[in-house]
Structures are given as C-alpha cells and as structure tokens.
Structure 1
C-alpha cells in the first residue's frame, strides 16, 4: 500500500527519487509553459528557466502531459517530473482541485517502481491537499495479485511483470500541524484506499470472486471496522421469498447472497441506504451475450463494490450518519436450472415479473434489495449499478447517469459527483415509458421499449422503492470499467466509480446539508 505523508521539507531539501512540479499552458499571448506555484525552488535551481527548458523539450503544460528532467545542482532528488495542469487560471483565481487530482494521478503512474516522490503542486487550502493526496494515491494503483513471483527490491516482480506502484507520496506545501490539512490527508488516505479495494474486487477474476467469497470479504471487513454484517444464503433467500435474486442466481453452481452491512453512529439523526448490483459474472444467462461482450463481465459487480467501499469508508471516517449497505450478489449463468425467457418470478415485494430477457438481470436483484432496504424506512436510498448498455450509448464511457424520484435529490447527487471529480449527468424518468413494461402474464415485465432503455430500467426499479422514500438510481455502466489506456488517476480495468460520490453524500448528510 502506498504511504502518504505531509512533508515539512522544502522542494530544495527533500530527499526522494523524484520531485513532481506543475506546469500550465501559457495564457493567450504568452509563450511556453508556465511554472505553477509550489515549484519556485525548483525553478530557481534551473536558474529561473524551467519553463524554457520544458518548452525546448516540447512540453506545453497540457493536462496530463508528463516530462522527466535530470535534476540540477541545488536539489536533493535525481529527477524532476513536470506534469501538465492544463490552462492556467485567470488572475486572482486558483487551479481547479480536480485538475490537481488528475495531474497528481498522472505523475504517480509515471513514477511506478520508485520508492518515494515529493509532490510540489499548488496548495492554497485543505481542498488542494485532499485533491493532490487523493489523486496521487489513486494514480499509484496497480492490480498485481495474479502476476506471481516474489517481489524483488528493484520495484518489479521477479517474473519480469509490471512495476510496483510508487511506494511513498510526500505532499509539499501542506502544513502537517494544521488540523484542516492533516484531516484532509487522513480523509484522502481512507477514501483512496477504499476506492482501490473496490478496484481490486472488480479486477478479481470471477473464478475467485463469486457471491460467497464476496460475502466473506464483506464479513471480514465488518469485523475489522465495527460494521454489523448479515449474510442471507440461498436457503435464507428462499425462505424470505427473494425471487429476483434467486431467479438470477439459479443457473450457477455458485449460489446467490444478499449481504447487509450496517454502520451506525450514536449521534446520528439520519439514515442512508446504499444498494449495489453485485453480479460477479454476467454471461447473460439463457439470453447469452454475443461474442466479444463476455470478456469484461467480471465488472458487473462494480455497484456492489462501490457500496461496500463507501460503507467501510464511512466507518473509518466515523461519520455521524447511519448507513446500511445492501450487496445483491449473484452469478448469471446458463444451465438446465437457469431462469428462462418467459418465466415469471415472484419478487420479495410480492409483485410478479415476467422475464423477457435474462440479460436484464441486474434490475431483478436490485428490486429485491430495494424492497428490503425500504422496509427499514431510511431517509434516502441510492442504488448503484452497471445496469444498461443504453446508458453508455447516451453518456459515453466516462459519465454516469442519475435518475431519482425527487428532482432536488437528483440535483444534489449530481453536484456532489462533480465536486469530487466524478463525471455525471441527471436523467429523467419519463412516465410514458412505463407502459412498455406492461405484461399480459405478470404485474410487470423486466423489459420495455428499446429506445431509452436506461430510463426504462430506472422506471422498473422505481416500482420497488417504498412509498414516500427519497430514492436515486446511479447507472455506472460507462465509467465502472476502463478498457483503454490509463489517464489521470484512472487505471485500466476497475475504476471504483461512485465510491467518492457516495462518501461525500454521507458526509453532507452527516453535516445536515441535505435537509
């Protein structure tokens, strides 16, 4: 695990493998990259010509651009790494925290294999400390569990595998004795650690992560962090009438689970419920996915991973709010015992659902979990799921959609997501699309109109939310799993999407900012 410190050393005196500084694009009419605040001592070591040296090497200060330089005399590090921050802010304004977060992530990735690096990026207040620390910790992530071999002292696996993550991050310019700065660093360490644990879960192959083993991970984390954990196995699910979860999981040799995590605070006056879709592998079931669509389906439990990590984060931070996390876990497989298109399931709510497509399974497990969560009358419910390809078509690979039965709540979640650097967009729940799910056989079908399919899924889930309960649905199908090259603090593979939004929602609820 990458260590984090707030260093009292200056940029000229820090001893490390590398020193990270920020550069920005020159304002209109300017020439060459502009050295950002925090790098004054480094610029001086270059004789005041760091910007000119970088320009000669082709650097522009564009966001995510990384340029390594041998350090000049006067610095205690062998390497200076200049990272682009994008456009320089207008006079009197500051760098956007997420620009700092992304830059720190890019730098940390570029320094894989190093033992220690100092980050001399612009720091004006605690929010900048949070952004730099969080970005660097997230950028330093690597999933190496299956690369094998003993780790050598050279920062690589002995089988010649990928370099190990940056070992230690020292944030310069922060004040270690300042309560706000110290709290910001501690929060960043907690949240980034849990995001990275969510990433690990998402990246774990489905032969090692099934409903039972995921439930075991949750149980162990609960014991460690004072969270009460209840696991309903297939027998308890059958006894309780959880027809949706059982119907999805009945085709697999790995039976389903419903896991409840309960974090409570003695002074809390509000309760949130987080519900996560946890399909540990999604073949599509009898409605088998076409070739080329199965390879990444270990990521279909990303919603449950986000919920799990958010609850653990809240417990570690000691937030003054009660949170229940519900992990609806199943493996969707085709077999002689699998649910068929045309089957009717009786859900935990008592409603019947005609299954027209077994690959629309996420909404079935979520429906049971939403009904169960509603029974405890929380102040609000948020479900998180890699639910529909339609949402990816609508918003692309980096933005998640938000639907809700309360416009103000939907707006709040959107604003929170933007605040923490997670791209999101509010989406409607058009009432006219509900008719498409009418079934001549059951109370509702699990499919409706093809156009607007992401909205149809939201309308389906809304049917299972308790009356009078504020609810939002977050569809992370796009950003949950990144198949391209890493960028900023986003790695290839599982991203941990929505964890930071859920944690910030919990913090704002604890502070009474959501009414």
Structure 2
C-alpha cells in the first residue's frame, strides 16, 4: 500500500520524483492553484503561461508533466486539473481535490515518491487530497509478471506510486493527523474490496472468501461466524442453497461483527456475494459472462466497511452479513419453475435463475433482522435495469423510509460517491404474484431495478429501517480509469457505508 506522510517543508526543498500542483480553469486561461506558490516562483511566476503553451486548460482530469526549472529538488512538475476556478472566498471542493490527486497518482505509477502541493486550506481539504492520492495509486498486479502472487497487488507488473507526501497539513495538529490516518485506513479498505473484486473467480470461491473474513477477524478482533452448506441446510436457508446448489463450490453465509463497548446503535450491513454468476440455467448470453467475477462487489464492500469501523474505533456496533454463492448451471442446479422455501419460511417461485442475487440477500436480510438492528443496509450489484436507469457511475438508493433514503443520499454525496434516490412503487408488487408460491423472483420487466427492491423489502423484519443500494453500475469499471477510479473493481459504496457508520456513532442515523 502507498505510504502517506504530512510535511510542513517547502515545496521547493523536498526531494521527490515529482511535485504535484493544481491548475484550474480561469476566465482567461489556466490559473495556478494555491499551494503551488514556491513552484510558480521557480518558473519566474510564469507557470500558468508555460502550462497554457503546452495545451493545459485546468480541466478536471487533465494531467500535464513538465521538467522542473532550477530551484526545485523534484525533477518533474505535474499539474493536475481541478476544473473551474472557484469564485472569491469559495473553495475547490473535496471531490475536485480527490479527483485531481487521484489523476496525479495514476500518472505517477512506477515512481517512488511524490510531493503533493494542492490547495489545502482546511482539515477536510487535507483528507480529500490524501484519499484521492491513495485511491488513485491503486494497482492490481497480483497475476502479472509470470509468477503467481496473492491478491495484494504485489505482482511484477507496474507498481503504484510508493509514497505520498502531503504539503499544507499540520503534522502535529491532532485534527490533521486524525484526518490523514482516517484517509489511509479508508483507502486501504476500499483497496481491499478492489482486490477481492479483481481476483479471478477460480481463486475466490465462497469458501475462500469466507477464509478472508476469518483471517481479518483474527487480525482486527472481529467476531466471525461461517455457516457452511451443512449448517445452511440444517438452518433452512433455501435462497442461498438454491443459488449455490449447481456449483461444485458450495455456498457460505458469513457473519462478521465489530462491537464497541460504548456503542448505543447497531447497524447491520448485508452484501450480495455471488463469486461468479453464469446466470445458472437461465444462462447469460455471450459477452455478459466475462466480468461476472464482480458480482460479489456488495459483499466486498460490506466486509471492508466492518474492518474499517474496527480500525477507526467507531462507537457503533456494525454487523456484516456476506451471502456467498457461485451461480452455475449443472444437473443439480435450480431450474426456472422450481420453488424455494426461504429462511423466513416464505416460498419463492424461481422464474429466472439469473435473478439470483435477491435470493441470497433475502435469506441474509431475514437473518440480520432477527438481531433487531437500528437499521439494515444491503449492497448489491443487483440489476442491469439500474445501469440502464442511472448509467455506470452512480448507484440507486431505495428504502422503506424516505428520510433514511434522503440521509444516505446526502452521506454518499459527502463521501464523494455519486448516487440517486429511487422509489419503491407499490403497484409494481403485483407483478411478482405467483400462482404457486408466496412470491416470484421476477416481476414486470420495466422498472426491474425497483421490482428487485420490492422483493427484498418482503424479507425485512417488521419495524426495521432499511435501505438498498444497487451498485450494478459503478462497482466495476470496464472503461478507462478516471480521477481516483481505476479500471476494474472500484470498491463502490465502501466510503458511503463508512460515513454512515461514523454518523451513526455520532448519534445521527438519519
């Protein structure tokens, strides 16, 4: 993992492979952002003019490298675009800083050390730059270089930026120190989720995923309980078993719990963990299977969030439920038309075996409800319909409480994750009526993402506040990297869930 240090040294005096400065779009051309005064001075006050000559505009995502003049210890200056320059007395905003820092880190892959002299006027600014730099430095190289490695990003491929030195902060100030320590822990846990998502499915079966949780439990003092196929059968977890029965890799339900002696609230998180989704008997068409290792992104997000809560020592109890299964077609697989008896006792007619995520989640949601938490949030790459509705960069939020849905939307925005509140229209419930069972796992095709949310709502305990995050769009980035978002697994929803846990610890559950 990339190292992070705070420094009060001058930008011109630190030795590094590169120094990162900010540049914004001004009314008459690029404008050098605060924090880069010493670097601009080394250019005789003409850094903006030089950048403009090189074609830089200050647009978001833009990265411009140029050799350093005499007077700077770093041989390279990297100007990262911040977007439109703020009006007088305004700031650049946390997300603009995150993305600029992330773009710079990606551009400096292979470097040992970089100094970041972006505009840091507050503790929040420092935290944003640190988060962006650390998240942008991510690389998954475990399977590169001709020698099999583990999923820690330590293969022989191009390595990420090794060390980030953040200028503008105050190393001896408790608030700055706490903010950067939080940024480091948060980035490491987002990257843990990314590693899991990027791991090939032959190396991340439900059993192996459960082993990861057990190992983390020992390291961070978490209570971990793993239900294997025998325990699931004995307990009547028909949804999880029905999805996993077609695979030679049997399913698991993992409970991973963090508790704090002074906690007054209990937050339950439930993650969809389909370690590979072929669609089952309702086989996915060609071209839709190649990235289905990412169908456990929700479970990865929940797992990383519980570990982050422990690392940050939050005064809230956080229980994660990882519903893990591999959805495969075989002679033993669940068929369209089969009826499953769920853990709740309800029966479900399976009309499409590719609508499997809601089946494993249903059992886990019922189990989570038994502990009567103050709130349940589930996270899942659940529906292609949500991608059609919201695109690839934002997740949908549904809830049985409008205020809670609004609160999570605001929290996601605060954390820097794009999302949008979605309804749960009661009229769509009728489409899941079954002549054979209590409910079918499919309903109307139009509004399919909302139908899936309505299905999940059926398995929430009475009186429990609940929200559903459909991260099918942003969980796996198949296009090029941007800002601090890499190609492949993104760790979507981890930052939102951690911020929700922090707000809950502070007495504001929303």
Same fold, judged at TM 0.5 (above): yes
For residues 371 and 513 of structure 1, the distance between their equivalents in structure 2, rounded to whole angstroms, comes to 25
For residues 313 and 337 of structure 2, the distance between their equivalents in structure 1, rounded to whole angstroms, comes to 47
For residues 154 and 205 of structure 2, the distance between their equivalents in structure 1, rounded to whole angstroms, comes to 27
Q: Deviations over 1:377-436 (max 9, x none)?
A: 000000000000000000000010000000000000000001111000000000000000
Segments ≥4 residues shifted beyond 4 Å: none
Q: Please tell me whether the aligned partners of residues 245 and 330 of structure 1 are also in contact (alpha carbons under 8 angstroms).
A: yes
In structure 2, which of residues 325, 328, 332 is the aligned counterpart of residue 333 of structure 1? 328
Q: Is residue 97 from structure 1 mapped to residue 94 from structure 2 by the alignment?
A: yes
In structure 1, which of residues 76, 82, 87 is the aligned counterpart of residue 84 of structure 2? 87
Which residue is 1:204 aligned to? 199
1:267 is paired with a residue of what secondary structure?
A: coil
Equivalent positions of 1:48-447 (< 5 A) are 48-149=45-146, 162-447=157-442
- For structure 2, the residue ranges without an aligned partner over 5 or more in a row are none
Count of residues in correspondence between the two structures: 506
Q: Please tell me whether the aligned partners of residues 116 and 167 of structure 1 are also in contact (alpha carbons under 8 angstroms).
A: yes
For residues 360 and 423 of structure 1, the distance between their equivalents in structure 2, rounded to whole angstroms, comes to 25
Q: CA RMSD in A?
A: 1.2
For residues 71 and 206 of structure 1, the distance between their equivalents in structure 2, rounded to whole angstroms, comes to 45
Which residue is 1:462 aligned to? 457
> Following TM superposition, by how much is the alpha carbon of 1:250 offset from its aligned partner in structure 2, in angstroms?
0.1
Q: Please tell me whether the aligned partners of residues 142 and 154 of structure 2 are also in contact (alpha carbons under 8 angstroms).
A: no
For residues 126 and 163 of structure 1, the distance between their equivalents in structure 2, rounded to whole angstroms, comes to 32
> Following TM superposition, by how much is the alpha carbon of 1:8 offset from its aligned partner in structure 2, in angstroms?
2.4
Which residue is 1:12 aligned to? 12
Closer/same/farther in 2, CA of residues 310 and 157 from structure 1, 3 Å limit: closer
Q: Deviations over 1:203-245 (max 9, x none)?
A: 0000000100000000000110010000000000000000000
For residues 121 and 468 of structure 2, the distance between their equivalents in structure 1, rounded to whole angstroms, comes to 35
> Following TM superposition, by how much is the alpha carbon of 1:157 offset from its aligned partner in structure 2, in angstroms?
9.3
2:201 is paired with a residue of what secondary structure?
A: coil
Q: Please tell me whether the aligned partners of residues 7 and 174 of structure 1 are also in contact (alpha carbons under 8 angstroms).
A: yes
For residues 118 and 244 of structure 1, the distance between their equivalents in structure 2, rounded to whole angstroms, comes to 51
Q: Please tell me whether the aligned partners of residues 148 and 157 of structure 1 are also in contact (alpha carbons under 8 angstroms).
A: no
2:276 is paired with a residue of what secondary structure?
A: strand
Which residue is 2:26 aligned to? 26
2:100 is paired with a residue of what secondary structure?
A: helix
Q: Please tell me whether the aligned partners of residues 145 and 157 of structure 2 are also in contact (alpha carbons under 8 angstroms).
A: no
Q: Please tell me whether the aligned partners of residues 149 and 157 of structure 1 are also in contact (alpha carbons under 8 angstroms).
A: no
TM-score by length of 2: 0.98
Which residue is 1:43 aligned to? 40
> Following TM superposition, by how much is the alpha carbon of 1:150 offset from its aligned partner in structure 2, in angstroms?
7.6
Q: Please tell me whether the aligned partners of residues 277 and 302 of structure 1 are also in contact (alpha carbons under 8 angstroms).
A: yes
Q: Please tell me whether the aligned partners of residues 130 and 166 of structure 2 are also in contact (alpha carbons under 8 angstroms).
A: yes
2:408 is paired with a residue of what secondary structure?
A: helix
Q: Deviations over 1:177-222 (max 9, x none)?
A: 1111100100000000000010000000000001000000000001
2:254 is paired with a residue of what secondary structure?
A: strand
Closer/same/farther in 2, CA of residues 313 and 94 from structure 1, 3 Å limit: same
Q: Please tell me whether the aligned partners of residues 150 and 157 of structure 1 are also in contact (alpha carbons under 8 angstroms).
A: no
Q: Deviations over 1:330-349 (max 9, x none)?
A: 00000000000000000000
For residues 277 and 444 of structure 1, the distance between their equivalents in structure 2, rounded to whole angstroms, comes to 20
Q: Please tell me whether the aligned partners of residues 141 and 158 of structure 2 are also in contact (alpha carbons under 8 angstroms).
A: no
Q: Please tell me whether the aligned partners of residues 24 and 88 of structure 1 are also in contact (alpha carbons under 8 angstroms).
A: yes
> Following TM superposition, by how much is the alpha carbon of 1:7 offset from its aligned partner in structure 2, in angstroms?
1.4
Closer/same/farther in 2, CA of residues 56 and 189 from structure 1, 3 Å limit: same
1:272 is paired with a residue of what secondary structure?
A: strand
2:64 is paired with a residue of what secondary structure?
A: strand
In structure 2, which of residues 451, 469, 472 is the aligned counterpart of residue 474 of structure 1? 469
- For structure 1, the residue ranges without an aligned partner over 5 or more in a row are none
> Following TM superposition, by how much is the alpha carbon of 1:162 offset from its aligned partner in structure 2, in angstroms?
3.9
Q: Please tell me whether the aligned partners of residues 157 and 163 of structure 1 are also in contact (alpha carbons under 8 angstroms).
A: no
